[in-house]
């Protein structure tokens, strides 16, 4: 076994095109570090609906140039086999370590395979790439990004023609072609022949962002913005300037791209501490709202003034469900027609809003690869801060256009002497207080997640937070409306209409439990009590789910 791992490592070393990872692997082999070798050569990064994502480094279980070249070759073979040979593949990238190199390797492989490749002019938000796929009539798009993962990660996201991310069976068919790729030397990689797109593609995207707003609406909301060391600052500021909003005040320490993400433990607005510098800037500037993008700017977080907020010193982060409901209500007010959609782990409030407006409503599996495919989609969101407010322009989550729409809503409310928090209270009185929460456990050993899911399937809880579990649904079995996925859904007895969904994260080493309770609210005087009651039930659900999962 040991010799087999060393043999595989030496074979990898012999064809690795990257001097940096060659040196890394040579040191590991020379040191005889079998644990590290086994970790890197115990399998391969598997290509799925999220493409590839993993830690940078040498070996088939890491993100590196060799893995990317094979992935690109497999994708090129898939496109050629389905009759898209000679078509255009648009390639974008963020500002993470190795992203530009991976984009260049992808362009070379596509060109060598007879496809036309075009690379975005520089590191830009993922929504610009998703837009470009549709705008340029491409047969596929590739975005090199690990979104909000830790600094040492990178990833490879694939879109097919039409601008939606891949879903089964395309992922399996591409994975099979990746597995069939021979030695790297057999993959043609010319030194040139692909196009570097000009600024006109970004200009076209920005022109499209103009269309998400209603002409003549107030544009007065004052904003603090953080890109969390990602690529969002330039594009968001340009979009806000075009729309006529006051220029957002960037968080200076986080405005420029930096792959080390030096001021945050994790570059994710949802993570503790990630918004501290933004809140410090907000206390100095006193804006109407704080907006944060994740590093590739496809997600949008919103914070509002709240003197009672814990930890934010006067600011409270809205949950993804709260922002999702606000945007839905705003679109309904503007006369939106079509279908509203969300992932199954998001708040059921969207369904209530859609029903009241006599709009179509659908639930999908987690991920915009599913939401974007809903027939007649007008608006889609998921609780992880992802919002699709312009599906005809970008069939994916887009943190730039979502930020614009939030700013428009805040401006309109400001003109009425009201706030986003006031509108949330209105929605609670109209539809009931839909309170959501999450238990999220990050692990180093992925087997702990598999063990937890097995434990829950073998010994499902019969009571949570003092409420009887009236139904247990194993999402792995699929249904008439949902394809199979690894997850469990519990519905609880009682007036709270409580719901719990448990699933492994698709992009991070986390087990996630999504919680919801609905508290009836007769009028505004009952809101404070309802919010306190909801907090108590959610905390009890977290405690009991942690015990049931053993994690």
Active site residue 147: yes
On whether the CB atoms of residues 364 and 342 are closer than 8 A, the answer is yes
The continuous run of DSSP H or E covering 240 comes out as helix 232-243
Mapped onto helix, strand or coil, the DSSP state of residue 517 is strand
Cα separation, 312 vs 54, in Å, equals 32
Mapped onto helix, strand or coil, the DSSP state of residue 310 is coil
Question: What are the backbone dihedrals phi and psi of residue 130, each rounded to the nearest 5 degrees, phi first?
Answer: -60, -40
Strand partners of residue 471? 491
At 540, list the tokens: 């009890």
Cα separation, 341 vs 18, in Å, equals 43
On whether the CB atoms of residues 381 and 387 are closer than 8 A, the answer is yes
Token pair 């993100």: residue: 63
Give the distance, in angstroms, between the CA of residue 262 and the centroid of all CA atoms in the same chain.
21
Question: What are the backbone dihedrals phi and psi of residue 302, each rounded to the nearest 5 degrees, phi first?
Answer: -130, 135
Cα separation, 271 vs 151, in Å, equals 14
Mapped onto helix, strand or coil, the DSSP state of residue 40 is helix
Question: What are the backbone dihedrals phi and psi of residue 209, each rounded to the nearest 5 degrees, phi first?
Answer: -60, -25
Residue of 36, 99, 147, 164 marked active site: 147
Closest CA to 351 of 325, 330, 369, 373: 325
Report the half-sphere exposure of 468 (CA within 13 A, side-chain side).
4
At 79, list the tokens: 């496109």
**Cα dihedral 390→391→396→397 (10° resolution):** 30
Cα separation, 321 vs 310, in Å, equals 19
Token pair 């607005």: residue: 269
- Cβ neighbours of residue 180 under 8 Å, at least 6 residues apart? 74, 77
DSSP secondary structure string for all residues of 6-22: HHHHHHHHHH---HHHH
**415 preceded by a cis bond (ω within 30 of 0):** no
Residues annotated as catalytic are 147
């Amino acid at each position: 076994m040991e010799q087999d791992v060393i043999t595989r490592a030496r074979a990898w070393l012999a064809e690795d095109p990257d001097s940096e990872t060659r040196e890394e692997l040579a040191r590991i082999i020379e040191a005889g570090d079998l644990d590290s070798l086994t970790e890197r050569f115990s399998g391969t990064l598997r290509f799925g609906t999220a493409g590839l994502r993993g830690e940078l480094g040498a070996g088939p279980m890491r993100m590196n140039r060799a893995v990317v070249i094979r992935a690109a070759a497999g994708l090129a073979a898939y496109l050629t086999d389905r009759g898209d040979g000679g078509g255009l593949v648009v390639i974008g990238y963020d500002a993470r370590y190795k992203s530009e190199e991976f984009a260049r390797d992808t362009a070379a492989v596509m060109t060598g395979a007879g496809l036309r490749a075009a690379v975005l002019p520089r590191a830009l938000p993922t929504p610009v790439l998703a837009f470009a796929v549709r705008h340029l009539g491409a047969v596929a798009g590739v975005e090199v990004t690990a979104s909000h993962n830790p600094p040492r990660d990178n990833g490879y996201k694939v879109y097919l023609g039409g601008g939606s991310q891949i879903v089964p069976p395309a992922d399996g068919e591409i994975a099979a072609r990746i597995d069939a790729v021979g030695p790297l030397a057999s993959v043609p990689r010319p030194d040139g022949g692909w196009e570097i797109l000009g600024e006109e593609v970004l200009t076209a995207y920005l022109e499209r962002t103009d269309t998400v707003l209603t002409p003549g609406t107030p544009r007065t909301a004052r904003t603090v913005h953080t890109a969390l060391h990602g690529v969002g600052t330039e594009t968001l500021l340009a979009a806000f300037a075009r729309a006529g909003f006051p220029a957002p005040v960037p968080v200076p320490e986080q405005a420029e791209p930096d792959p080390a993400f030096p001021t945050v433990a994790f570059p994710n607005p949802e993570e503790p501490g990630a918004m501290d510098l933004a809140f410090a800037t907000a206390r100095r500037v006193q804006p109407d709202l704080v907006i944060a993008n994740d590093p590739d700017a496809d997600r949008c977080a919103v914070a509002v003034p709240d003197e009672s907020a814990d930890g934010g010193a006067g600011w409270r982060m809205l949950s993804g469900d709260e922002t999702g409901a606000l945007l839905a209500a705003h679109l309904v007010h503007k006369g939106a027609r079509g279908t509203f959609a969300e992932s199954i782990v998001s708040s059921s409030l969207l369904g209530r809003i859609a029903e009241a407006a006599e709009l179509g409503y659908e639930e999908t599996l987690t991920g915009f690869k599913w939401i974007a495919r809903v027939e007649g989609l007008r608006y889609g969101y998921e609780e992880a801060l992802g919002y699709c407010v312009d599906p005809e322009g970008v069939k994916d989550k887009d943190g730039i256009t979502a930020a614009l729409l939030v700013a428009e809503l805040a401006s309109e409310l400001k003109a009425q002497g009201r706030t986003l928090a006031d509108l949330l209270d209105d929605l609670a009185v109209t539809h009931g207080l839909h309170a959501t929460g999450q238990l999220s456990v990050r692990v180093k050993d992925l087997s702990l997640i598999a063990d937890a899911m097995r434990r829950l399937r073998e010994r499902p809880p019969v009571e949570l937070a003092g409420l009887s579990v009236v139904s247990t649904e194993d999402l792995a079995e699929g249904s008439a409306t949902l394809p199979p996925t690894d997850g469990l859904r519990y519905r609880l007895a009682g007036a709270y209409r409580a719901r719990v969904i448990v699933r492994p994260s698709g992009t991070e080493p986390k087990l996630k439990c999504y919680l919801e309770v609905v508290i009836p609210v007769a009028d505004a005087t009952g809101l404070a009590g309802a919010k306190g009651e909801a907090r108590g039930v959610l905390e009890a659900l977290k405690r009991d789910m942690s015990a049931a999962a053993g994690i």
